[in-house]
Structure 1
Amino acid sequence: MQQNLPLELDSFVGRARDLDAILRLLGVHRVVTLCGMGGIGKTRLALRAAAQAVDRFSDGVWLCEMSETTTREAVAARIACVLGVRSDHECAPDQVLVDLLRSRRLLLVLDNCEHAVQHVASVIEQLLPRCPNVSFLVTSREPLHIEGEALWRVPPLTVPDPGHGDPLEAESVQLFVDRARAHAHDFTVTPERLEAIATICRRLDGIPLGIELAAARVRLLSVAQIAERLRDRFTMLTYGDRNAPVRQRTLRAVLDWSYDMLDEPERRLLRRLSVFSDWDLDLAERVCADESLPAHCLLDLMVSLVDRSLVTVVGEVQGRMRYRMLDTIRQYALARLAESGEETRLRLRHREQVLALAEELAHYAVAGYGVSWEQRFSAFQRVCAERDNVRTALTWSAERGDVVEGLRLCVALRPYWMVNGLLAEGAYWTDRFLAMDCADETLRGQAMVRRAELAWDRADPSHAVTIGEEGLRLCQQAGDHGSVALGLNILAMSDIRAGRFDRAEQRLAESVTLTRATDDPWNEGIARSTQGALAARQGRWEEARDRYEEALTLLRTIDHWWGVGITLIGRGRVAEASGDLRGAERCFREALDIQRMIGGPPELARCLAGVGRVLASQGKVAEAYRCLQESLTLCHNTGQRLGTARGLLAIAKVALAEGRADEATRLAGAADALRERSGHPAPRKKWPLQGGTFTLRWEEGRRMDSDEAVCAAVQVAEAGAASDAAPLLDANEAVLTPREREVAELIGQGMSNRSIAERLFISPATVARHVANINTKLGFNSRNQIAAWINR
C-alpha cells in the first residue's frame, strides 16, 4: 500500500472513542477536520486514524505538512511535491493536481493548517468536485468553514476523578506512566506515586503535550516534586494572554515550566533551533553555535532536549540523524527567540547556511575536472534533505524583500529543481524574485537564463526565448562565460524545437568555441550533445552519433554521471533510429541504471520507454510491455502529460504489431487527444490505420480522459506480457565476465550499487555500467530479475 506516514516512535495511548468516531466520519464525509488547541494531540490522532484507514484508499494515504505554507500556490505545490507531481506544461499547480487526482482514490492528511486556513480551504474546494474519490483529513486550530466539512473537536485525555474509580483507567494517567517508563525503565507505579500522577494529570487538564513534558522529568524529579512544582506554576494561570481559554493558558504555563527548568545553555539552544523546519547536528552547529554556545557542547545539549521531549528524533536520513520540534513547541520557542532579540541574526545565519549548501551544489553540478561523482551526488542529496529549510529561507527572503539573496538561491537551486522535476516550484520562486527591483544586473541575467531552462523543459518555448535572450544579453555584458554558454545551449534547444535549425547551429558553434576557450567541459558536453540532437532531427545519423560520443567522452572524463545518463538517452535514440538495436539497448540500459540511482522521474521514464521500444523491435514483447507499462505509469503518476501521451502511443504500436488493431487504435486516439489538450503538437508520423471501424476506435480513444486511457493501456500491456512470458536463462548459459558475475552475486544478496562499490573498491558509476552490461547480456530490465536469476 502506498503511503508516507511516519513510523510511530512510541506507543499510542487511549483515544479509542475518538478513533472510532473519526473513522466513521471518514466513511461518510470527504473532509474531516480535527480541531483543537496546540498540544492537544491532533497530529498524532490524525496519523493513527490515517494508518487505520489505509485499506480504504487503493491509491494510498499521504501526509502533507502545511506549517511552512503561507500562500495558495504554496499549499498546492506542497501537496503536488508529496505526491511526486512534475508538471511539463505552464499551468497552475492546483490544475495539475486536478489532472492527477481526477480518478485516484486516496486520502490526503493536511497537517498544521492553521497558518494558511483560507488557502487550504480554497485548494480543497477546487479539488472536491473534480476529484470525487479523494478525501481529506485536516488538522487545524480552527475549522476550514467549507461546505461538507465534518468537524471533530479533539478533547483532552480523560483525567481521574478525585476519590472515584481507579486512576489507571484514565487516559492521561496511562500516558504519563507509559512516557515515564520510556524515560526511566525502572519506573514503577506505587499507590503514593499514583496519587501524585493523578494530581499532575488534573493540573495539566489532560493535555497530552503537557503530560509528556512532565513525564520526561521523572529521571530528575520525583512525581511528588513534579506535582508540587506544577502547583506553584499554576496557582495563578494569568501568564500570557489573559483572555485566552483556560486550557490554552494551561499549555502556555506548562511550556513556561518546562522552559524555566532548563539551564541557560539549553534554553538558548531551544530558542535558536526554532529557525529550522528540521535539522541535523552539523547544520545546528553551523547556525546555533557561537561564543556563548560552543559547537562542541551542542550534542550533549541536544540529547538533553530530546530527553525532556522538547526535541523529537526523526530518524536517519542519508547517513545523518535528523531532529525536529512539534509545531506547538516550535512556535513557543520562536516567540522566545523573538523576545531574546536574536531572531533576525539566527534567521540570517540559517539562510547563509542554506545558501552555502545550494551554491556548493551549483558549483559541483557544472564543475569540470577534479570533482568526483560522489562529491556531486552528495551535494545534491544534502540539498534534497534540507528541502524544507530551503523553502523556509526562500519564504523569509521574499517576505523581507531580500531580492539579492533570493535570486542567489534561485540560481543555485537550479540543479535541484531540474533533476527532481520541481519545475513549477522553481518557476514560482524565480518569477517572484525577478518581479522585485534588483540593481545587480549580472545576477538578474543569471536568474533569467536559468528561468529560461525551466520554461523550455516545461514546454513554454516562447517564454524560454524571451527571457533567455534578455538573460543572455546581461550575462554577455558581465562576462559570465558559464551562464552565456548555458544560455546559448538552452536557446539552441528552443530553436531545434521550433525548427530554426540554422539559428540553432550558429548558437551551438558559438557555445563550443566559448566553452573550449574557457575550459568548461560541462557546458561543452551539453553543447556537443545538443549538436547531436540537431543532427538527428535532420536525419544526419552518423554525425549525430559522433557528436553524442564526443559529449559522452567529455562527461565521462569529468565523472559527471547525471550528464552521462542524459546524453546516453539521446545516443540511444540515434542508434535506435539508425537500426542499431543492440547499441540502442545498451545505451538505454546504462542510462536506466544511472537514473534509478539518482531518482529523477522524467529521465527514468524516458529510459524505460527507450528500453521498451528497442525490446519490442527485437521481438521481446513481454519484456517490452513491462518496461513501457512502468514508464507510462510513472509519467501518469507524476503528472507528465507529454510522457503519458508518448507512453500510450508506444504501447499502441506494440499492440498493433501483435495484430490487436482495435485496441491499438483506441490508445493512439487517446494519446493524440492528450497531446492536443496539453498544448503539444501531434507526432510527425500519422497513425497508419484510418477509415471504417478504425475511425470509430480512434474517436472512442479521443473521448477517453487520461485515467481511462492509462487503465486501458495497462490492461493491454498486462495481457500482452502474460501471453508471452520470457524464459529465464540458465546460469551456465550466460557469458558474464568474472567481475560481472561478482556484481550479480552481490545484487542477489540485496546490496545497493553504493554498497557493492565499497565492497569491490570501485566507483558506483562503474558498478552501474556492470549492471547495464549484465542486463543487456541476460535480456533483463531490472535488478530484481538479476537477483532472481543468480539466486536460482
Structure 2
Amino acid sequence: MMAPQSAPARQNLPPETSNLVGRERDLSDLLRLLDSNRVVTLCGVSGIGKTRMALRVAAQATASFPDGVWFAELAEATTRQEVIARIAQAVGVVEENGREPAGTLVDALRGRHLLLILDGCDEVTGDVAAVGRVLLDANPSISLLLTSDDPVRIGSEAIWSVPPLALPQRTDEPSLNDSEAVRLFIERFQGPGSTVCPHQLRTIADLCHRLDGIPLCIELVAAWARHGSLNEIADLLAGHLPRSTGNGRSTDRQKILDAVLGWSHALLGTDEQALFRRLAIFPTWDLELAERVCSDDLLPEANILDAASTLVDRSLITLTGEHQGRVRYQLPRAVHRFAAERLTETAEVETTRIRHREQMMRLVEELGRVAVLGRAMPWAERHSVWQRVGAEYDNVLRALHWSAERGDAEEGLRMCAGLHRLWVSDRRLSEGAFWSDLFLRMDDERGPLHGRVLARRAEIAWLRYDFQLAKETGEEALRLCCTANDTESVLLTLNLLALTDMRADDNERASERLTEALNLARDNGDLWYEAMALSVQGALAARQGDYPSADMLYSTALLIQRGMDHRWGVGSTLVGHAIVAEAQHDLDAADRCYREALDIQRDIGVVPELARCLAGVGRIAHAQGATAQAYDYLSESLLLSQSTGQRAGVARSLASVAQLAASDGFTEGAHRLSGASTGIRESIGLPTFWSLRPHQEQIPESGPGEQSSWWYEGYELSIDEAVAMALRIAEAGRVPRPRTPAPPGPAPSTDILTRREREIAQHVAGGSSNREIAAALFITQSTVARHIANINRKTGFRSRKQIATWISEDNEDPGETSGAP
C-alpha cells in the first residue's frame, strides 16, 4: 500500500490543435537562446505564430528544466493580482491562509529549476515585468519565455522577433514545395502530405508572397480556397491586400493581416457575421453558451450551429479542448481583436454584454444554491456545477469587470454571493475579498444583498486569518441578515462567529451561538447547516477535552452529510472526526476517517486538506507499526505542501516525520526536523505543538547540550533545507535494517485501572471491537472509546495491541491468581 498516486506533472502545456509547419531552424536557434538567457521574449505582429512557437520550444526544452515547463495564459489578465493568480494556478501554487498570493508564489518557486511561459502579455506588460523581476531575483533557476507584440522590458531580456514563414524563391520552381509558407498553405488547403499540380503550386507561391508569409493569413486564405477555385480566391484577395513595400516592417504585416481578416469577414453570410462579432464577448465558450448569449431575432438560436460550423471551417474559430462532454472554442487572439472591433461598431454590444452577464449570473447563483443546498442531491450533480463555473471562470471575470466599470453594484453583489463557495474551495480568497469589497463599497442601500455578501466576506476574512475583521464583519452581517430574514446567511454567520468566540476562549458564548444555529437549522429543515453546527460543536467539545461528546457530534454530522451525499462536507467533517479518534488513541477509527477523507480530497482536489489527510494517514501508519508506509504518506504530504506553497502543511508534516524519526532511531534528524517545524510555525504566526526541544532545566550550565544544539540548528533551516533533510531520513527509514531493541521497562500494574477499565481491557485483549464491547457491557461505543483513551493515557500505550499484550502477560502472572495472598 504505497501512498503516492502518481508522479508529479512536469508540464501543463495545452495540446496543439494543429501541426506546426516549418520553423525548424527558428526552434533550434530559440532553444540555444533560452540556454544562455533567463528571459526570452517572442515579439511580432499578431498572427505571426508566437504562441505556437513558444509551446513547441517549451515542449522541446522540458529535459533542460527538472522542475518542469509551465504555461500561463495572460491575455485575459488586467491587473497585477490577476497576473500573479494565473501564474500561481499554472505552477500549482495555492493561496495560503493569511498571506498575500505574491509572497506564497515567490517562496514556493524558490529553488525550483523551471521554465515559465507567459503568453499574451500585451495588455499587462508593466505588471508582467514587475512580477517577473521579483521571481527572477528570488530564484536564479527560473527562466521566462514570454510572448508579446512588443518587448516586455524586463532586465536582460533577449528579444526574438518572430519572422514570417520562409517564402519560395520566385525563380526556383522546384523549391516551391520546400518553402515553409507553401507547405503550410498546402496542408491547410488539402491536408498533411498532399501534393498539388504545378499550376496550383505557382498560384499558392504567389499568394504566400502577397501574404508576406504570415501564418494566420495563410491559414485563413487556404481555408477559403478549400471551397472555391484557387485562382478565383487569388483574384478576390488581390483587390484587398495593400501594396507590399518589401521592407518587412511590422506595420506592413499588420495591414496585411487586417486586410485578410476584412476580406474573410466580407465573404461570410449575415448569420455568420452576426455570430462572429458576438463571439468576441467570450474568452472561450461552448455551443450551448453561444446559443444562449448570441441568439436574438436577427440570429435565431436554431441557426447558430450551422454558423459556428462555417466559422470553424474557415479557421476563424479554433477548438481548445473538451469539458464535461462539451467541446470548447475560442477566437485566435488577432481574430478576437478584429471581431471585438466589429461588435463595438454595432448597437448590439450593450445587449450582448447584458445577455452574457445574465448567463454568468445564472450559473454562479446556481452554484451558490446547490453548494450548500440543505437536502439530498447526487454529489455528481452538485459537483458538476462547481466544475462548470470553474470552466467559465474567465467569462465570469469578464462579467465582473464589466459590472464594475458600469457601477452595477447589485449585479456584482449577486455574483459575489454565488461565487463565494468556489472562492473558498479553490482557495481564491484574495480574489473573493477584492471583488466583494469592491461591490460592497459601491452599494449605498445596504439592504439584504449587502448583508448576504457581508456574511460571506466575514468567512473569507476568517480563512485569511484576519480574525478581528471576521468578527466585526460577521456581527454586522448577522444584524443585517436577521432583519432581512435571510436564514441561510444567519446560519452561516452564527457558525462563523462561534469559531471567533472559540479562538477568543469564550467557549460559553460559542456554545450559545451553536445551539441557536442548530435549533434554527432544524426548524427550517436545513440539513447542511445542521451538520455544520454539529461539526463546530464537535470541534468545541474536542477543544474542551470532551472527546466522547466530540465523537458523537461528528458522527451525527457525518450521518446527515452522507444522507445528503455531500462529499465535500463529508471530507471536511471526517478530518475533525479523525483528529478526535487520534486523540483517543483509537487508531482503527482514525485510520478509517483519514483514508476516506483522503479518497474524497484526491477526487475534489482541495490541496491543503489533501496534505492534511496524507499526514494523518502517515501518523496512524507509524502508530500501527507500518514504518515504510508511514514514510511514504508523510513524504507525499510534505512534497505536496512544499510544491503548492503551504507552509503550515510543511510544518505539520515535518513534525510528524520528526516523531517517526525519533522512534526509528534517527535522533539527530528528529531534533533538527522538530526545530524546523517550530521555526516555520512561529514565522507564520501559528501556535507550536509537539516538539523534541529539551526543557530549559535539562540544558547544562556550560551551554546547550548536543540534542538542544540539533534542535536550534533545525530551527534556523530554510523550508527547502528542512524538506530535503526529511526526505533523506524517509528514504533511509524505508530500508529494513537490524535494530537493537531498547531494554523493556517495567510493565505498569493493572492496579492503576478502574474496575470498568480493567473489564474493557480484558475485552480488548480478547480481540473485541468497540461495537462488540459496547454490546457486551450495555454501554455506548463513545463510552468504550473514552475508557480505552484513559487506559492508554495511564499506561503510556498507543495501540490496542499493546493493551492486549499487557493484559495477556498480566493474566499469566501467578501473583494475579485468585489464591494469591
- When normalised by structure 1's length, the TM-score is 0.88
Counterpart CA distance in 1 for 2:494 and 2:669 is 44
Report deviation, 1:61: 0.7
Whether contact under 8 Å (2:45, 2:250) holds in the other structure is no
Task: Give the corresponding residue for 2:178.
Answer: 169
Task: Give the corresponding residue for 1:482.
Answer: 488
Task: Give the corresponding residue for 1:120.
Answer: 128
* Letter in structure 2 aligned against 1:181: Q
RMSD of aligned Cα (Å): 1.9
- Which one of the candidate residues 689, 701, 705 is aligned to 2:718? 705
CA deviations on 1:513-542 (whole Å, 9 max, x unpaired) are 211112211011001000000100111011
Task: Give the corresponding residue for 2:681.
Answer: 675
Percent pairwise identity: 49
SS at match of 1:274: helix
Task: Give the corresponding residue for 1:733.
Answer: none
Query: Within 5 A, what are the aligned runs for 1:287-686?
Result: 287-683=293-689
Counterpart CA distance in 1 for 2:242 and 2:636 is 64
Rate the CA distance shift 1:342–1:721 in 2: closer, same or farther, 3 A: farther
Higher Rg: 2
* Letter in structure 2 aligned against 1:647: S
Rate the CA distance shift 1:278–1:425 in 2: closer, same or farther, 3 A: same
Long gaps (5+) in structure 1? 726-792
* Letter in structure 1 aligned against 2:519: T
Task: Give the corresponding residue for 1:110.
Answer: 118
Task: Give the corresponding residue for 2:263.
Answer: 257
* Letter in structure 2 aligned against 1:427: A
Counterpart CA distance in 1 for 2:285 and 2:243 is 37
Long gaps (5+) in structure 2? 1-8, 700-704, 739-821
Counterpart CA distance in 2 for 1:174 and 1:491 is 67
Q: Does 1:73 align with 2:86?
A: no
Counterpart CA distance in 2 for 1:517 and 1:237 is 78
Counterpart CA distance in 2 for 1:22 and 1:262 is 38
Query: Within 5 A, what are the aligned runs for 1:127-276?
Result: 127-164=135-172, 166-182=175-191, 188-234=195-241, 245-276=251-282
Rate the CA distance shift 1:235–1:696 in 2: closer, same or farther, 3 A: closer
Whether contact under 8 Å (2:46, 2:149) holds in the other structure is yes
SS at match of 1:259: helix
Whether contact under 8 Å (1:608, 1:628) holds in the other structure is yes
Counterpart CA distance in 2 for 1:171 and 1:428 is 48
* Letter in structure 2 aligned against 1:718: E
* Letter in structure 2 aligned against 1:61: V
Counterpart CA distance in 2 for 1:39 and 1:438 is 46
Report deviation, 1:255: 0.5
Whether contact under 8 Å (2:670, 2:692) holds in the other structure is no
Counterpart CA distance in 2 for 1:628 and 1:210 is 54
* Letter in structure 2 aligned against 1:695: S
Query: Within 5 A, what are the aligned runs for 1:51-66?
Result: 51-66=59-74
Counterpart CA distance in 1 for 2:438 and 2:645 is 24
Whether contact under 8 Å (1:64, 1:79) holds in the other structure is yes
Report deviation, 1:84: 2.4
Report deviation, 1:685: 6.2
Counterpart CA distance in 2 for 1:169 and 1:189 is 13
SS at match of 2:657: helix
Counterpart CA distance in 1 for 2:177 and 2:26 is 19
Pick which of 515-524 and 43-52 moved more: 515-524
Counterpart CA distance in 2 for 1:254 and 1:111 is 24
Counterpart CA distance in 1 for 2:408 and 2:533 is 34
Report deviation, 1:503: 2.0
SS at match of 1:435: helix
Residues paired across the two proteins, number: 719
SS at match of 1:245: helix
SS at match of 2:87: helix
CA deviations on 1:593-643 (whole Å, 9 max, x unpaired) are 112221221221121111111111111111111111111211122221111
Counterpart CA distance in 1 for 2:481 and 2:654 is 41
Counterpart CA distance in 2 for 1:147 and 1:219 is 46
Counterpart CA distance in 1 for 2:692 and 2:452 is 41
Rate the CA distance shift 1:383–1:723 in 2: closer, same or farther, 3 A: farther
Counterpart CA distance in 2 for 1:327 and 1:207 is 14
CA deviations on 1:643-696 (whole Å, 9 max, x unpaired) are 111111111111111121110111111111111222222227674577411222
* Letter in structure 2 aligned against 1:478: A
Whether contact under 8 Å (1:404, 1:438) holds in the other structure is no
Whether contact under 8 Å (1:88, 1:459) holds in the other structure is no
CA deviations on 1:688-708 (whole Å, 9 max, x unpaired) are 577411222122212221122
SS at match of 2:256: helix
Counterpart CA distance in 1 for 2:731 and 2:423 is 34
* Letter in structure 2 aligned against 1:102: R
SS at match of 2:734: helix
Counterpart CA distance in 1 for 2:568 and 2:500 is 21
Whether contact under 8 Å (1:31, 1:148) holds in the other structure is yes
SS at match of 1:340: coil
Report deviation, 1:224: 1.4
Pick which of 550-559 and 493-502 moved more: 493-502
Pick which of 152-161 and 536-545 moved more: 152-161
Counterpart CA distance in 1 for 2:344 and 2:278 is 10
Counterpart CA distance in 1 for 2:148 and 2:407 is 29
Counterpart CA distance in 2 for 1:584 and 1:393 is 45
CA deviations on 1:731-771 (whole Å, 9 max, x unpaired) are xxxxxxxxxxxxxxxxxxxxxxxxxxxxxxxxxxxxxxxxx
Task: Give the corresponding residue for 1:34.
Answer: 42
Whether contact under 8 Å (2:674, 2:691) holds in the other structure is no
Task: Give the corresponding residue for 2:736.
Answer: 723
Report deviation, 1:77: 1.3
SS at match of 1:6: coil
- When normalised by structure 2's length, the TM-score is 0.85
Counterpart CA distance in 2 for 1:289 and 1:218 is 29
Counterpart CA distance in 1 for 2:275 and 2:736 is 63
Report deviation, 1:49: 0.6
Counterpart CA distance in 2 for 1:303 and 1:685 is 65
Whether contact under 8 Å (1:535, 1:541) holds in the other structure is yes
* Letter in structure 2 aligned against 1:349: R
